[in-house]
Amino acid sequence: MSDKTLSDLSEKMRDIDITMLMTRTDDGSIAGRPMSNNGDVDYDGDSYYFTWGDSRMVADIEADPTVSLAFQGEEMFMVNVQGKGTVIRDKSEFEAHWVPDLDEWFEDGIDTDGMVMIKVRADRVRYWDGEDDGEITL
């Protein structure tokens, strides 16, 4: 087991844009979908993702906030985050995590009708870095 810190992991996660966000559905199965961190890479245990409020993912999180994130970087660096998802509808919170690239998907920026932000707060972070592996509990 390694003794990497959350700061160590954040540094290695900087170049990973896409994660698989998994939720538990109403029938108990697991649903996953790719999500972009939009360059919001100073990982402190919280992750933020923009999506549509009427999506299945949002309904899943509102019914059961237990989520998992899977990241894969270069040279066998992988991270699994287990935590709780929260659906945020507050535009002032959107602004803190907005980047211009999101305008491609949400043309009215933080004022886009029907847009929400998902915050994932980690409880446990498990990582593999080649032969090195470990776990951080938050």
Nearest to 38 by CA among 29, 47, 46, 30: 47
Report how far residue 60's alpha carbon sits from residue 22's, in angstroms, rounded to the nearest whole number.
Answer: 10
CA distance 16 to 37: 8
pLDDT value for 1: 55
Percent of the chain residues topping a pLDDT of 90: 69
Per-residue pLDDT of 97-129, as tens digits, reads: 998 889 999 999 999 999 999 999 999 999 999
Contacts of 100 (CB under 8 A, 6+ apart): none
CATH class of 6-137: mainly beta
The per-residue pLDDT for 2 is 66
Express each pLDDT in 49-62 by its tens digit: 999 999 999 999 99
pLDDT tens by residue, 73-89: 988 999 999 999 999 99
Whole-angstrom distance, CA of residue 128 vs CA of residue 3: 12
Model pTM score:
0.90
Largest Cα span, the chain = 47
Do the Cβ atoms of 1 and 133 come closer than 8 Å? yes
